[in-house]
Structure 1
Amino acid sequence: MRRLAFLALACAVSAQAAAPAPAALTEPALISPKALTAATLAAARAGDRLLAAGERGTVLWSDDGGKAWQQAAVPVRAGLTALRFVDASNGWAAGHLGVILKTSDGGKTWLKQLDGLQAAQALLATASDDAGRRAAQRMVEEGADKPWFDIEAIDAHQAIAVGAYGLAMVTRDGGASWQPLPTRAANPRGLHLYGVRVVNGQWFIAGEQGLLLRSSDGGATFAALASPYKGSFFGLLASDSGALLAYGLRGSVYRSADAGNSWVKVELGTPLSLQAGMAQRGELTLLAQTGELFSSADDGLSFTRRPPPAGPLPAAGLAAAPDGAWVIASLRGTRRASPTP
């Protein structure tokens, strides 16, 4: 009873101290022809449809392989940093201000499921010790200023989002509710979490300063893995065989064939930071910050460097069109380019 009474009091106090909701959380994305050339930060594929997302809540979709784009209806104006689909209809987007969106029509329309204010309240309500409650209370007072950096969709009911300052949450009911994940013990410094993937039932998270986490019990507990690298990992990529690649700063790529127990460095021969990765038809592709691509046909053991197919550009996201073309999300909008032979 004391526990329940404390939680009720904490929620009441935090509600009074909570920062107001920014306008970007209450106003829909502006429908405008300019959105078709706006900066995009993520790309994904849903069946034969391509999608890109980026600044001010912009989500674009294309049914002709990325040659022409249309703007989706989005209920917020927060920048979006991640897209993930489980099938042609169901997917999630995540981004700034703690926003998580869900679509069930292939990305044409979106509904807001979570924002940073709600995430902070959830953290406060589930905090199990004084340190956790103090940290959650600070989040409540600071407002919806913490971004998500990646999202993984396991199926139409389960998804995992990771972001700044160690934030990690999961839904198991299609997004009707989101619960914090217990990553603080394995990430006591609250390092940023940049990538999340589920491989053969195990959950992996990568972040700054070489942070690597794994859960073998569906997110009930997490353990820190021995990291082969002290720089930041910006993403995770899994091959068809179940091999896991962690990639990030200065062209760093490390491969594990044993669920993260050991890692081997993969030489790319580039100092460029890697922004995104993609697995398609047995081939793995990594995208550098300049738009250069690195492809592997041997399960990630080695990569071949390919020049920027769309010319140098500040690249951020990567997807494959049904006809095999690459679609790159960038700060200069989306670019479509055929793979080089």
Structure 2
Amino acid sequence: MNVEQCFASFARRWGACVLASCLLANSAIAAPATTFAALQQSALPTAKAPRAVLLGLTRAGERLVAVGERGIVLLSDDSGTTWRQARVPVSVSLTAVQFVDAEQGWAVGHLGVVLHTQDGGETWQKQLDGQRAIALAVQFAERDVNQPDGTSHLAQARRMLDDGPDKPFLDLYFSDRLHGYVVGAYNQIFRTDDGGRSWQPWMRHVDNPQGLNLYGIRAVGNDLWLVGERGLLLRSTDAGQLFQALKSPYEGSFFGLLGTRDGALVVYGLRGNAWWSGDRGNSWRRLDTGIESTLASALQLRDGGLLLASQSGELLFSHDQGRSFDKRQSRSGGTLAAVQQAVDGSLTSVGLTGVAADQDPRAAGQP
């Protein structure tokens, strides 16, 4: 992994653990077996968990769920005022989390981990890890070696096998309780159609011959989108059967994307760069964010407005479906990795210094 990839991964998910993974991947020395002991060690309960490095945040019904370093998962049932730690079977850093309803959710993280919960995040079960993911990649590539580009996909799978199972997953998208994707470093993408009981390597469905890192995946309208490093933009118009690369308006990394209620797109990334498209990504217009910090998170608010949040804690609001953004407030202290709106309308964010409750968006100038 080169320097830009390391920086991009660090910028995407903030923990020092991400940087450590980059350094490990860049080393010619194979990782010792003890590196993967965290796959078998449960997350340790700690009173300091709310102040730990936290990288992902979402809603499970009315509950807030945060994930972060050392397998920490935190739950809040009072809009972020108090938090308690959930039971997790691994102690690897978790990078992203999503729920499709109040009970069913998934989280992804380092060493190729995918976790699943059926009780709103109280308990979690491991569905996939890097060792199993690589075995699946090689198995499927050997089966499809006579298909178009089969030889190159097999070579890629064998390189992954030689490198070891240390590659992180960085994002995920589930449309319902059965169908979903997890994505991450080196073009890693896996798909499930049975709620994660089984997974299929999906790399050969993605137009990414350089194996660039995949940082975000989202559905907007009838399209499914992937974004990644070096301006990577991929769109699927056939329910994920083929992700085709689009001409990108920007050569820097994109860390996420957001769809608006009227079907427009906002993609965001390094150094305050954000772009808007009203024609499904066929053309793009650069947004004037007025900031130079990396944009780390985006959210559609319940009143229909949009929010972009920078790593420095700057919050940008839009009332015109993403065509323009205004800076309204900043998160006090720390570095921001993700932001979410609680059931009471307030904003909660997570980052290098843990969780922080922010004010109601209406107090920041929202109507």
TM-score (structure 2 length as normaliser): 0.85
Mapping of 1:44-123 within 5 angstroms? 44-123=58-137
| Offset, 1:183 | 4.9
Point out where structure 2 has 5 or more consecutive residues left out of the alignment.
1-29
- Secondary structure of the 1:60 match is strand
Distance, in Å, in 1 between the alignment partners of 2:31 and 2:347 is 43
> Which has the higher mean CA deviation after the structures are superposed, 63-72 or 231-240?
231-240
**1:290-309 alignment to 2 at 5 Å?**
290-309=312-331
Q: Counterparts in 2 of 1:15-54, with a 5 A limit?
A: 20=33, 22-54=36-68
- Please point out which of 313, 328, 331 is paired with 2:334: 313
* Structure 2 residue matching 1:118: 3-state secondary structure: helix
Mapped to 2, the partners of 1:185 and 1:23 lie a distance apart of 32
Q: Give the Cα separation in 2 of the matches to 1:269 and 1:43.
A: 25
Taking every aligned residue pair, what percent have the same amino acid on both sides?
A: 47
Q: Give the CA deviation at 1:86.
A: 1.0
2:157 aligns to what SS in structure 1? Answer: helix
Contact 2:72 2:91 in 1 (8 A): yes
Shift of 1:142: 2.4
> Which residue pairs with 2:258 in the alignment?
237
2: CA distance between counterparts of 1:241 and 1:289? 27
Work out the CA distance in 2 between the residues paired with 1:19 and 1:216. 42
Q: Distance in 2 between matches of 1:61 and 1:18?
A: 33
**CA 1:182–1:216: 2 relative to 1, 3 Å:** farther
2:208 aligned with 1:187:
yes
After superposition, give the CA deviation of every residue in 1:148-207 in whole Å (9 maximum; x if it has no partner): 111112111111111101111111100001111245761100011111001122110000
CA distance in 2, matches of 1:77, 1:261: 42
Q: Secondary structure at the match of 2:127?
A: strand
Question: How many Å separate the matches in 2 of 1:77 and 1:39?
Answer: 13
2:138 is equivalent to residue 138 of structure 1: no
- Match 1:157 to one of 139, 159, 178: 178
Moved more, 34-43 or 62-71: 34-43
Q: How far apart are the structure 2 equivalents of 1:149 and 1:300? A: 24
Pairwise CA distance, 1:280: 1.7
Q: Does 1:284 align with 2:299?
A: no
Superposed displacement of residue 243, structure 1: 1.3
Query: Does the 8 Å CA contact 1:19/1:141 hold for their aligned counterparts?
Result: no
Q: What per-residue deviation string (whole Å, max 9, x for no partner) do you get for residues 287-336 of structure 1?
A: 10111111111100111102313x13211011111111111111100101
Equivalent position amino acid for 2:165 in 1: A
Q: Equivalents in 2 of 1:318, 1:18: separation in Å?
A: 34
Instruction: Give the superposed CA RMSD.
Output: 1.7
Alpha-carbon distance, 1:144 to partner: 1.9
- Whether the aligned pair in 2 keeps the contact of 1:102 and 1:113 (CA below 8 Å) is yes
Structure 1's consecutive aligned runs of 4 or more residues displaced over 4 angstroms after TM superposition are: 17-21
Match of 1:169 in 2: 190
Q: Post-superposition shift, 1:143? A: 2.1
> Quick check: 1:126 aligned with 2:111?
no
Q: How does 1:191-230 map to 2 (within 5 A)?
A: 191-230=212-251
- CA gap 1:185/1:38 in 2 versus in 1, 3 angstroms: closer
